A and B are shown apart, each in its own frame.
Chain A
């Protein structure tokens, strides 16, 4: 379970997030939707313990991200904004490296890596260096790497960004699978269809604030619009930076 209360963070004179609060339960897919620059990535980086908020708290399974960062990281799988792979390592070596950093070893690690790569259809290229991989394959490797330690909470920053149709489908299937396993899934996107198709709950972020929070139906009801897209535009106040 992930809970964020009144997060505030500035970089120099720029306020990246002003006041962000939301809650993401286990077994639920929570979407962070907002235009580029709304503060989604900063919020997720605070959750992944790499950035300290100036005000507010971020909690993972009741642990404070600022104080218990190591314990939080153990319970968290993160697909960051930048996928960040090592060109000269193979897909399998990426999983091994991160698995070992999580304290996994030997057969358990091999089994888990194999499972994940089969699930995301990477087994054909598992022992190739990732430098020749397509965008889709890279994202899949980064996803497997984020999940290698079987984390109860999963944070995905724009997981389908730049992917082709087949890879997008694979990622969607994976997200549904993670939900079915009872994990807490938070993902950010500026693609509305993505959020509409996958999320049980939608948190709309604009200009560093949460402007709407609820199910797709609740959003439609609140704005009086039948069309989700128009509902979004209404709560954000403009359609700048959104992709339908």
Chain B
């Protein structure tokens, strides 16, 4: 009878951990369903948004007092709005959200208009309604346009160039490529991918360390003629594999979601081809090696299963912070920043998603530093797992 070699010993541990893990319903939910949460949320959110701002819908304008402003009505109709009579309780209907807006033309409009005085129209809106915002904005633009057109005509009629009344002309030059505006929307994809990295292996990382000790099975396990390194490497590989599965599930979920969601209705062109998808998974992989090691290290250090859960839940928030930060205040990434695990992956995933040019150096720096960090975490876990206080729990072992 010979002792198993380093790899076969680790493989035995790995196999057992995977079998054990996949028999556990709780772990399956956290490993497979939670990564799908992102794509599902994404689909729901954008389906609703797209429904709300479908541009082909004509703008319906309920108007009270149409007869007082026939030329305005004609202008609206010409510009694609559908003018109809406003109900008597239009104000109430706007307040209740049943109407997005209502236009009221007072009786004195025609008189003021003819006399060249400022003619007043009232636009009834509820500025707190998100749903109405797009239509209100369209209506305001139409009214401004009408006003500007009339003003220009009046100046011309008096022999004045309308440009005199417009000392400054602002012309917006939108530099956003369709991919860039899509990236703003797709910023949540990397965030959810990173979450999948951390959440995928989290349960197994706890169960195979703090859980193993709490069950009392760490002691018999370590009495086997295998080294600490074999035990930790086996468990770590299991955690990493499970977390890979989560990432891939999440990635596939997003690519399906992007196909389902009518993003083009929102004016966004976004799609995930197989190429970028594989690249994104490849960027996330080194991080799973690190997160798995770090999670095991923290869980080993915790006194109980519950304590480990608390630590690892907090740990999960950390990699999400760069995503949130970047979405709030975009920064110009520098090469040295690629040495920060989780942060570098956030930047690189966003770049891939946006279709930006790839900087190979960044990918190398990111992968190397993350792998080094993974090595340190795993090394520390190997050292820690053999400590008397860790095997038997701190404060135990006086009998």
Q: Chain A interface (Cβ within 8 Å of chain B)?
A: 11, 14, 16, 36-42, 45, 48-52, 70-71, 73-74, 76, 78, 80-89, 93, 97-98, 100-104, 129, 142, 145-146, 149-150
Note all chain A residues with C-beta closer than 8 A to B57: none
Choose one: A11, A49, A89; the contact of B223 (CB below 8 Å): A49
Binary interface encoding of chain B residues 1-38 relative to chain A, with 1 for a CB under 8 A from any of its CBs, else 0: 11110000100110010011001100000000000000
Assess whether B51 is interfacial by the CB under 8 Å rule.
Answer: no
Smallest CB–CB gap between A236 and chain B, Å? 15
Note all chain A residues with C-beta closer than 8 A to B3: 70, 74, 102-103
Choose one: A14, A40, A101; the contact of B12 (CB below 8 Å): A101
Smallest CB–CB gap between A11 and chain B, Å? 6
> Can you pick out 5 interface pairs between chain A and chain B where the beta carbons lie within 8 Å of each other?
A39-B399, A49-B223, A76-B223, A80-B216, A81-B216
Note all chain B residues with C-beta closer than 8 A to A87: 215
Contact B399 A88 (CB under 8 A): no
Contact B225 A102 (CB under 8 A): yes
Smallest CB–CB gap between B292 and chain A, Å? 20
Contact A93 B19 (CB under 8 A): yes
Choose one: A11, A84, A93; the contact of B220 (CB below 8 Å): A84
Note all chain A residues with C-beta closer than 8 A to B140: none
Given contacts A11-B397, A45-B397, A104-B1, contact A86 B12 (CB under 8 A): no
Residue of B4, B215, B224 contacting most chain A CB atoms (<10 Å):
B224
Note all chain A residues with C-beta closer than 8 A to B215: 82, 84-87
User: How many angstroms from the CA of A86 to the CA of B23 in the assembled complex?
Assistant: 11
User: How many angstroms from the CA of A98 to the CA of B220 in the assembled complex?
Assistant: 9
Contact B1 A88 (CB under 8 A): no
- Minimum-distance CB pairs A-B, first 6: A82-B216, A84-B217, A84-B216, A101-B224, A88-B23, A73-B225
Choose one: B20, B221, B223, B226; the contact of A88 (CB below 8 Å): B20
Contact B19 A50 (CB under 8 A): no
Given contacts A50-B391, A52-B388, contact A73 B399 (CB under 8 A): no
User: How many angstroms from the CA of A76 to the CA of B220 in the assembled complex?
Assistant: 11
Contact B399 A82 (CB under 8 A): no
Assess whether B227 is interfacial by the CB under 8 Å rule.
Answer: yes
User: How many angstroms from the CA of A146 to the CA of B392 in the assembled complex?
Assistant: 19
Residues from 341 to 399 in B contacting A, C-beta threshold 8 Å: 388, 391-392, 397-399
Note all chain B residues with C-beta closer than 8 A to A51: 388, 397
Contact A78 B223 (CB under 8 A): yes
Given contacts A84-B215, A84-B218, A104-B1, contact A36 B399 (CB under 8 A): yes
User: How many angstroms from the CA of A13 to the CA of B90 in the assembled complex?
Assistant: 82
Smallest CB–CB gap between A47 and chain B, Å? 10
Residue of B2, B13, B20, B225 contacting most chain A CB atoms (<10 Å):
B225
Smallest CB–CB gap between B63 and chain A, Å? 70
User: How many angstroms from the CA of A212 to the CA of B104 in the assembled complex?
Assistant: 107
User: How many angstroms from the CA of A40 to the CA of B398 in the assembled complex?
Assistant: 10
Note all chain B residues with C-beta closer than 8 A to A146: 220
User: How many angstroms from the CA of A38 to the CA of B399 in the assembled complex?
Assistant: 6
Note all chain A residues with C-beta closer than 8 A to B19: 89, 93
Contact A100 B4 (CB under 8 A): yes
Choose one: B223, B227, B388, B399; the contact of A80 (CB below 8 Å): B223
Note all chain B residues with C-beta closer than 8 A to A98: 220, 224
Note all chain B residues with C-beta closer than 8 A to A85: 215, 217
Contact B397 A16 (CB under 8 A): yes
Given contacts A88-B24, A93-B19, contact A73 B217 (CB under 8 A): no
Smallest CB–CB gap between B7 and chain A, Å? 13
User: How many angstroms from the CA of A70 to the CA of B230 in the assembled complex?
Assistant: 12
Smallest CB–CB gap between B204 and chain A, Å? 12
A84-B220, A101-B226 provided; 6 other pairs, C-beta below 8 A?
Answer: A50-B222, A81-B216, A89-B20, A102-B3, A103-B2, A146-B220
Given contacts A70-B227, A89-B19, A98-B224, contact A80 B219 (CB under 8 A): yes
User: How many angstroms from the CA of A73 to the CA of B215 in the assembled complex?
Assistant: 21
Note all chain B residues with C-beta closer than 8 A to A45: 219, 392, 397
User: How many angstroms from the CA of A129 to the CA of B223 in the assembled complex?
Assistant: 23
Residue of A16, A85, A98, A101 contacting most chain B CB atoms (<10 Å):
A101
Given contacts A80-B219, A89-B19, contact A41 B399 (CB under 8 A): yes
Note all chain A residues with C-beta closer than 8 A to B220: 78, 80, 83-84, 98, 142, 145-146
User: How many angstroms from the CA of A54 to the CA of B39 in the assembled complex?
Assistant: 57
Note all chain B residues with C-beta closer than 8 A to A36: 399
Given contacts A50-B391, A70-B3, A93-B19, contact A84 B219 (CB under 8 A): yes
Contact B20 A50 (CB under 8 A): no
Note all chain B residues with C-beta closer than 8 A to A37: 398-399
Note all chain B residues with C-beta closer than 8 A to A103: 1-4, 225
Contact A50 B219 (CB under 8 A): yes
Note all chain A residues with C-beta closer than 8 A to B397: 11, 16, 41-42, 45, 51
Given contacts A16-B397, A42-B397, contact A82 B20 (CB under 8 A): no
Residues from 70 to 108 in B contacting A, C-beta threshold 8 Å: none
